[in-house]
Chain A
Amino acid sequence: MISEVIADGLFEGFTGQLLAGTVMTVKVTLAATFVGICLGLLGASARMSKFKPAKYAGDAYVGFIRGIPELLIIFLIYFGSTRLLMTIASWFGYNEYIELSPFIAGVIALGLTFGGYATEVFRGAFLAVHPGQKEAASALGMSKLRIFFRIQLPQVWRIALPGLGNLILVLMKDTALISVIGLEELTRKTQMVVTATREPFTWYFTAAVMYLSLTVVTTLILRYFENRSRRHERPVARTMKAAGGA
């Protein structure tokens, strides 16, 4: 019975609404992933820094993100940023009312969350790269920045990818929270359709199926990148298999 209702829905134009919402969900996910990866790299560098204040700041950041609900962070950024932004703007002589859009607030809030967890993923990955690599690079006379970009990052990237993939999947589901501050992504669009149709189960279930499809597609994309990141390992595995080894 439910499937019939969903099939009918295809011709009602509500599905178009849900698709528009899905596109928005993907956009927020991509934007927050980008912000989160930058913050994660920064956080990991801070936590591994020999400069104590940076280390403590990194530790505190991860500690806060782990214990405070994403929803609260979204509220804090969205409703709490106005006064802060207006104070900063007034230093530059701008005194109009400023408010973050739900999109920007959501991207910042979920980017912060992603960054907190990504800090741990990146830190683990940096520690997994053998210190001899860094020493060899500096023995060759590379500058610290060049060692970071040429030697460490390409290897860290590969080790961190599975962990980051999980974070992206979590993030994608967390984008539903931005609906609470009014961003018209999949969940918000679904709420609007439910108000119009008065068929909550049908439409929330449809939304659930759309999130599931997003999860499946994302998993496949991530698997592709993971395999790609390991392509330098593959010939070894192949020879081992051919030789009847482990």
Chain B
Amino acid sequence: MDWSVIAEYYPRLLEGSWMTLKLVILSSILGLILAIPMALARVSESLAWNGLPRLYIFFFRGTPLLIQIFLFYYGLSQFEIVRESALWPYLREPYWCAIIVLGLHTAAYVAEILRGALQAIPRGEVEACRVMGMTKPTMYRRILLPRAFGIMMPAYGNEVILMLKGSALASTITLLDLTGMARTIIARTYTPEEIYIAAGVLYLLISWLFMLFFKLLDRLFNRHQMV
């Protein structure tokens, strides 16, 4: 094994790591924004409200991420309406396409996590809100959503780590994230073991970074329970 290639190429690997970080952070934000209304509709008991989120979640959780990426990146060009729309310049870009698909994908999982958290809030707290005369929007904004974020934080942290692993698939649509960069370097140096191991170590470091971040966030959201 020739470890000097890592010393030579680590700036490129860091570049790839930065791309991976951007993908994960932007798609997580997009996913969370989409997941909140979806989870709220999903907890509704009427089929008119929960039907569409259920179908969405069923599709995005039941199919491989790779298929979803291909479906959007290659598939959408089949429709002329999409190609002529204002969004096309973005959808055509692997970068934006990856962020959008990763965001849509994670939204389905986060919506389910958030739904679980909303349903785990003790009934008494909801009843207390009602007794205080809160309207439904106020109740969700002030009490239920902050409470649900606290409950879901450990599961949400896991989901973001899974997204970090999923972001490696962006390399299949020519994006130079950490995995894509590793492949590019290997195509030049023919040292797969060294470079893939180096990339794996970087992924581990990034995942530890996220774990630490979510531990802090967990403390922030659940500080009322700390002794």
Contacts and interface: CB of A to CB of B under 8 A. Distances in A.
Given A68-B203, A80-B192, A212-B58, A187 B171 contact: no
B75 A76 contact: no
Interface string B187-222: 000001100110110011011100000000000000
Interface residues of A, number: 39
Interface stretch (B5-13, B65-73, B88-96): B65-73
Contact of B168 (A72, A173, A199, A208): A72
A69 B203 contact: yes
B67 A176 contact: yes
A66 B161 contact: yes
Contacts, number: 119
Given A68-B203, A204-B75, A76 B192 contact: yes
Contacts of B74: 194, 200-201, 204
B6 to A, nearest CB: 14
Contacts of B68: 208
Contacts of A84: 193
A64 interface: yes
B193 A202 contact: no
B196 A79 contact: yes
B63 to A, nearest CB: 4
Contact of B186 (A64, A79, A175, A187): A79
Nearest to A76: B196
Contact of A64 (B167, B199, B200): B200
A11 B71 CA distance: 23
Given A69-B164, A200-B75, A179 B66 contact: yes
A90 to B, nearest CB: 16
B144 to A, nearest CB: 27
A173 B166 contact: no
Helix, strand, loop or mixed for chain B's interface?
helix
A173 B65 contact: yes
A202 B183 CA distance: 30
Interface stretch (B43-51, B76-84, B131-139): B76-84
Contacts of A200: 70-71, 74-75, 77-78
A63 B211 CA distance: 12
Contacts of A63: 204
A84 B192 CA distance: 12
A73 B199 CA distance: 10
A73 B192 CA distance: 11
Interface in A110-162: none
Nearest to A202: B78
Given A80-B193, A176-B64, A208 B71 contact: yes
A234 interface: no
Nearest to B207: A67
Contacts of B186: 79
B62 A207 contact: no
A215 to B, nearest CB: 4
A199 B207 CA distance: 38
Interface in A154-210: 173-177, 179-180, 187, 190-191, 194, 199-202, 204-205, 207-208
B59 interface: yes
A228 interface: no
Interface string B133-166: 0000000000000000000000000000100111
A67 B203 contact: yes
A171 to B, nearest CB: 11
B175 interface: no
Nearest to B194: A80
Contact of A79 (B64, B179, B192, B200): B192
16 contacts: A64-B200, A67-B207, A73-B200, A76-B192, A76-B200, A79-B196, A84-B193, A175-B64, A179-B66, A199-B78, A201-B71, A204-B75, A212-B58, A212-B59, A212-B62, A215-B63
